[in-house]
Amino acid sequence: MTDHSNTPRKPPQTAPRASATFDEYTLSEIRRAAATGIYDIRGGGAKRKLPHFDDLLFLGASMSRYPLEGYRERCDTSVVLGTRFAKKPIELKIPITIAGMSFGSLSANAKEALGRGASAMGTSTTTGDGGMTNEERGHSTQLVYQYLPSRYGMNPDDLRRADAIEVVVGQGAKPGGGGMLLGQKITERVAKMRTLPVGIDQRSACRHPDWTGPDDLEIKIEELREITDWEKPIYVKVGAARPYYDTALAVKSGADVVVVDGMQGGTAATQEIFIEHVGIPTLAAVRQAVKALQDLGMHRKVQLIVSGGIRNGADVAKALALGADAVAIGTAALVALGDNDPHYAAEYEALGTRAGAYDDWHEGRDPAGITTQDPALMARLDPVAAGRRLANYLAVLTLECQTIARACGKSHVHNLEPEDLVALTIEAAAMANVPLAGTNWIPGSNGTF
Ligand SMILES: Cc1cc2nc3c(=O)[nH]c(=O)nc-3n(C[C@H](O)[C@H](O)[C@H](O)COP(=O)(O)O)c2cc1C
């Protein structure tokens, strides 16, 4: 054996250490900004880890509660939206709706597929910035028409063709900001509907042109009711920023339904910095909105729809348990249609990204034919097959939500309650106002805001 004891050794080296502050993504973004001088735009919602529904758990039945039998005992999932003033409330078979996503950001085929999938499951879909297309009206049994700050595509005939109206004040991905639609996606059809020039970048307004606060909103809502003969439910959608006060003000303004969209909520396109740094997580918003409704004696009289990062039946059940009447989905619905599908892996790679991470929806080059206006790409999306996939996905969300509700002994998903929940982290416990698991401790304000 060789004796190495006298061989000089290299001094030990420390391993290269990446900075948690200046991580790989951050460094690449600094380099990109330095090279181009322009900020980054993308679609989707906040990508960083945030307190979310995953931080809550259901307790399920135990000695003091008995569960319901899956195959024999009914667990209802129906929901009625707009019971306050509207002559014709919206009746849904499931508590999951399709959120407003604009024609322009999405292809006509994608809009049609959303309508087909939602209708097959007895739920509603929603228009978006840019107006109502015949494809989506024709294939949506219940269509909510958005009334947005931009007024793109707005006309009174379409208000009357809709089944409900959603006045958009803000979105969770960008509270205080407007949308963006870059020239690449402004085809003749999109331009005509928005009365804009073809091929020129467009920024939607961040606030309504003719009102500055809740008093004006009240007048606007009354105007919309007059135009539609008091038939249609009027929703008010806000991005989660100050949900307690925004919900209270929406109720005071005469809303039938309040939609609260948290910061995980998707957008078609806006500044990355906006998506990641403005607004509050969905989890933090739900209980505040519910509390406002309870304080006004309006919980379950004015319905609450929650959106922003809903992915599975547990998320749906948790939102309902915290007091929402229904949820809305955007991103997950697009994934169900075929967005970011590994089938197009090579094409995503050619775009400098990968399936699962593709978010340059504003560029209009989506290989899956969803966030594009390119006729060749759009033709790849078969609206019938994509609609079927969405319907399947909605069915699974509903079954999962029912499974949890039954395990908690509830004969209607609306009977889920905060008492069925505990939190895994102190943050989630404080935000959702439920106890930390294994304790009876609710950190924070103990139920008051
Ligand atoms: C492609 C896309 C387009 C959107 N367009 C609109 C819009 O026109 N109006 C609007 O109020 N919200 C719009 N949103 C936001 C959705 O209505 C909804 O608030 C959000 O997607 C919910 O979060 P989720 O995507 O995590 O489900 C859009 C979202 C996406 C993904």
Q: With contact defined as beta carbons under 8 Å apart, do 261 and 171 qualify?
A: yes
Q: Is 149 in the pocket of ligand 1 (CB under 6 A)?
A: no
Residue of 109, 167, 171 with the most ligand 1 atoms within 8 Å of its CB, for mutation: 171
Q: Is 340 in the pocket of ligand 1 (CB under 6 A)?
A: no
Q: Is 104 in the pocket of ligand 1 (CB under 6 A)?
A: no
Residues 424, 219: Cα–Cα separation, whole Å: 44
Amino acid in position 369 = G
Written as six digits, the tokens of 119 are 């209708």
Written as six digits, the tokens of 25 are 């993504």
Taking Cα atoms as reference points, which of 199, 196, 279 lies closest to residue 243? 279
Residues 49, 264: Cα–Cα separation, whole Å: 10
- Which pLDDT score, from 0 to 100, does residue 406 have? 98
> φ, ψ for residue 198 (rounded to 5)?
-70, 140
Average pLDDT over residues 256-265: 98
Q: Which residue has the tokens 């049609």?
A: 112
Provide the pLDDT confidence category of residue 152 given band limits of 50, 70 and 90: confident
Q: With contact defined as beta carbons under 8 Å apart, do 143 and 115 qualify?
A: yes
Identify whether 278 is part of a domain. Answer: yes
Residues 446, 293: Cα–Cα separation, whole Å: 17
Average pLDDT over residues 197-202: 91
- Which pLDDT score, from 0 to 100, does residue 211 have? 84
Taking Cα atoms as reference points, which of 208, 175, 91, 135 lies closest to residue 384? 135
| Residue 331 φ/ψ region, left for φ over 0, alpha for ψ in the -120 to 50 degree band, beta for the rest | alpha
Q: Is 267 in the pocket of ligand 1 (CB under 6 A)?
A: yes
If one counts the domains in the chain, the total is 1
Q: Is 150 in the pocket of ligand 1 (CB under 6 A)?
A: no
- Which pLDDT score, from 0 to 100, does residue 180 have? 86
Provide the pLDDT confidence category of residue 219 given band limits of 50, 70 and 90: very high
Ligand 1 atom closest to Cα of residue 99: 17
- Which pLDDT score, from 0 to 100, does residue 133 have? 93
Provide the pLDDT confidence category of residue 449 given band limits of 50, 70 and 90: low
Q: How many whole angstroms from 44 Cα to the centroid of ligand 1? A: 8
pLDDT over threshold 60, residue 83: yes
Average pLDDT over residues 170-189: 92
Q: Is 45 in the pocket of ligand 1 (CB under 6 A)?
A: yes
Q: What is the mean pLDDT of the chain?
A: 95
Residue of 102, 306, 334, 372 with the most ligand 1 atoms within 8 Å of its CB, for mutation: 102
Burial of 3 (0-12, 13-18, 19+ CB in 10 A): exposed
Q: With contact defined as beta carbons under 8 Å apart, do 107 and 370 qualify?
A: yes
- Which pLDDT score, from 0 to 100, does residue 203 have? 86
Identify whether 442 is part of a domain. Answer: no
Instruction: Report the SS3 class of residue 261.
Output: strand
Q: Is 214 in the pocket of ligand 1 (CB under 6 A)?
A: no
Q: Is 132 in the pocket of ligand 1 (CB under 6 A)?
A: no
Q: For the segment 276-292, what is each residue's pLDDT rounded down to a tens digit?
A: 999 999 999 999 999 99
Q: Where are the alpha helices (DSSP H) in 272-321?
A: 272-277, 282-295, 313-321
Q: How many whole angstroms from 330 Cα to the centroid of ligand 1? A: 5
Average pLDDT over residues 60-82: 94
Q: With contact defined as beta carbons under 8 Å apart, do 90 and 359 qualify?
A: no
- Which pLDDT score, from 0 to 100, does residue 214 have? 86
Residues 366, 381: Cα–Cα separation, whole Å: 11
pLDDT over threshold 90, residue 7: no
Question: How does 403-435 read in b/e, with b if 16+ C-beta sit within 10 Å?
Answer: ebbbbbbbebbbebebebbbbeeebbbbbbbbb
Provide the pLDDT confidence category of residue 142 given band limits of 50, 70 and 90: very high
The percent of residues in the chain predicted with pLDDT above 90, rounded, is: 88
- Which pLDDT score, from 0 to 100, does residue 4 have? 65
pLDDT over threshold 80, residue 447: no
Identify whether 116 is part of a domain. Answer: yes
Identify whether 4 is part of a domain. Answer: no
Write down the pTM of the prediction: 0.96
The range of the structural domain enclosing residue 246 comes to 41-416
Angle at 274 between CA 45 and CA 203, to 5 degrees: 95
- Which pLDDT score, from 0 to 100, does residue 363 have? 96
Q: Is 364 in the pocket of ligand 1 (CB under 6 A)?
A: no
- Which pLDDT score, from 0 to 100, does residue 350 have? 97
Number of Cβ within a 10 Å radius of residue 327 = 27
Number of Cβ within a 10 Å radius of residue 256 = 26
Ligand 1 atom closest to Cα of residue 329: 27
Identify whether 371 is part of a domain. Answer: yes
Residue 101: CATH number of its domain: 3.20.20.70
Q: For the segment 94-114, what is each residue's pLDDT rounded down to a tens digit?
A: 999 999 999 999 999 999 999
End-to-end CA distance of the chain: 75
Identify whether 449 is part of a domain. Answer: no
Q: For the segment 15-56, what is each residue's pLDDT rounded down to a tens digit?
A: 999 999 999 999 999 999 999 999 999 999 999 999 999 999
What DSSP string describes 74-109?
--B--EEE--SS-SS-EEESSSEEEPB--BTTB-HH
Q: For the segment 293-338, what is each residue's pLDDT rounded down to a tens digit?
A: 999 999 999 999 999 999 999 999 999 999 999 999 999 999 999 9
> Most distant CA pair in the chain: distance in Å?
98
Residues 235, 303: Cα–Cα separation, whole Å: 9
Q: Is 194 in the pocket of ligand 1 (CB under 6 A)?
A: no
